[in-house]
Chain A
Amino acid sequence: QEQLVESGGGVVQPGGSLTLSCVASAFMLGSFAMCWVRQAPGKGLEWVATNSHDAKSEGYADSVRGRFAISRDNSKNTLYLHLRSLRGEDTALYYCARHYWKNGEGRIDVWGKGTTVIVSS
């Protein structure tokens, strides 16, 4: 069964840094674009970042551009999100998700369970 498992969340002080990881199983990460989506406590879903299957293209939400970086190691079937200059408003559950494309139609179809980041002094 295709699965994504995130790790690396924790409590970090404002201004600090953290790296999240997401390991894929039962499919090849290198065949898919991948995303990070976050959800602040009691709030809706917010797209954070996406990178292409070969990591040559990436995009970021305005709220994180310049502070977060998405990367991957396809040989390890692992996606990363590097978070720096963290703020209180970055506190959220961070989901890793797969973006599947076929015949010009795409969808985020596989989601992990998420890892929690709390920014607090």
Chain B
Amino acid sequence: EIVLTQSPGTLSLSPGERASLSCRASQTVSSSDLNWYQQKPGQAPRLLIYAASRRATGIPDRFSGSGSGTDFTLTITRLEPEDSAMYYCLRYGWQYTFGQGTKLEIK
């Protein structure tokens, strides 16, 4: 079973700064199988990135994904207050696995 470990657990940054969120897999993951989601309190998750680096429809270009193998990164540039949320990576396959999430706080 593949385990996804996200770091850091919490990230506190200021508006305009850049955030880098990590998702590390316990074994090699195909890039095509790696997604990133944003979830705000009281809301369903929202797809940000699929296939590790492709932005979903309507997602601003401030959001980008990168990585391969076991290490994947979600980068958010020019942070805005509305980016405050939980962020999850997901690997799908025969079994689906979510990371435990990173909480992003915009001070």
Taking beta carbons and an 8 Å cutoff, which residues of A are in contact with B?
Answer: 35, 37, 44-47, 50, 59, 61, 95, 99, 104-109, 111-114
Contact = CB atoms under 8 A, between A and B. Distances in A.
Contacts of A45: 37, 39, 45, 88, 90, 98, 101
Contacts of B44: 95, 111-114
Contacts of A35: 96
Q: Give the secondary structure class of A's interface.
A: strand
Contacts of B101: 44-45
A106 B92 contact: yes
Contacts, number: 60
Interface string B81-107: 000001010101011111111000000
B32 interface: yes
Interface residues of B, number: 25
B17 interface: no
Interface in B21-43: 32-33, 35, 37, 39
**Which 5 residue pairs are nearest across A and B when measured between Cβ atoms?**
A107-B50, A47-B96, A111-B44, A105-B51, A45-B98
Given A45-B45, A47-B98, A111-B44, 7 more contacts: A44-B99, A44-B100, A45-B98, A46-B98, A59-B96, A61-B96, A105-B50
A104 B32 contact: yes
B88 A107 contact: no
A105 B96 contact: no
A114 B44 CA distance: 8
Nearest to A47: B96
Contact of A105 (B46, B54, B97): B54
Contacts of A44: 86, 88, 98-101
Nearest to A109: B47
B56 interface: yes
A45 B45 CA distance: 9
26 contacts: A37-B45, A37-B98, A44-B98, A44-B100, A45-B37, A45-B88, A46-B98, A47-B95, A47-B96, A47-B97, A47-B98, A59-B95, A99-B92, A104-B32, A105-B32, A105-B50, A105-B51, A106-B32, A106-B50, A106-B92, A107-B50, A107-B51, A108-B47, A108-B90, A109-B50, A113-B44
